[in-house]
Amino acid sequence: MTRVCSVACVLILGLVVSIGAQGAPTAGQKIATDADYAVHMKEIGQMNGVLTKSVKGGMADEASKAAARMEVLFKNVHAYWAEKKVTDATEAAQTAVTGLQAVQKATAANDMAAAETARASVAGACQACHMAHREKLPEGGFRIK
């Protein structure tokens, strides 16, 4: 009986912890697991869609909000790669952060052409890092390489 409970309790605890880790990432949150990492990337993917649409559609406020949220996420991603001492990935994350700051500066001045240039530099960072460090799994989804 005790044994059944301890197994069940560990499972429940594990579930609670993993659900907790799936919450929206916060500024300065440490990415401790592959699951945490994936949560960051999924939100980055969604926000990047919003960013692209709003920059191209001339919606400065919406673009600025998306860029600010992505900056928070990419700072966590940057810390993850910096800790692992993977130089190219750390640089790609930094390029994304710098580009997102430039998007916010440009949208604040309502300069949507400059915002688009900065957005394109962020998109370049996505590609560069994915080419080197993202592996597509045969069963679907991705993993870090």
Contact positions vs ligand HEC (CB under 6 A): 37-38, 41-42, 44-45, 48, 77, 81, 89, 92-93, 96, 122, 125-126, 129-130, 133-134, 141-144
Shortest Cβ distance from residue 60 to ligand HEC (Å)?
19
Q: Considering the complex, state which of residue 38 and residue 114 has its C-beta at the smaller distance from ligand HEC.
A: 38
CB of 114 to ligand HEC, least distance (A): 18
Task: Please say which residue, 114 or 126, places its beta carbon nearer to ligand HEC.
Answer: 126
CB 106 within 8 A of CB 115: yes
Q: Which is nearer to ligand HEC, 6 or 87 (CB)?
A: 87
Helices (H), the chain: 2-21, 34-56, 60-84, 87-108, 112-133
> CB of residue 51 vs ligand HEC: minimum separation in angstroms?
8
- To the nearest whole angstrom, how small is the minimum distance from the Cβ of residue 17 to ligand HEC? 18
- 60 or 75: CB nearest ligand HEC: 75
Q: Which residues of 5-44 are buried (b: 16+ CB within 10 A; e: fewer)?
A: eeeeeeeeeeeeeeeeeeeebeeebebeeeebbbbbbebb
Tell me the closest approach of the beta carbon of residue 126 to ligand HEC, in angstroms.
Answer: 3
Whole-number Å distance between alpha carbons of 55 and 106:
10
Residues paired with 134 in a beta bridge? 144
Q: Which is nearer to ligand HEC, 79 or 114 (CB)?
A: 79
- Burial (0-12, 13-18, 19+ Cβ within 10 Å), 69: buried
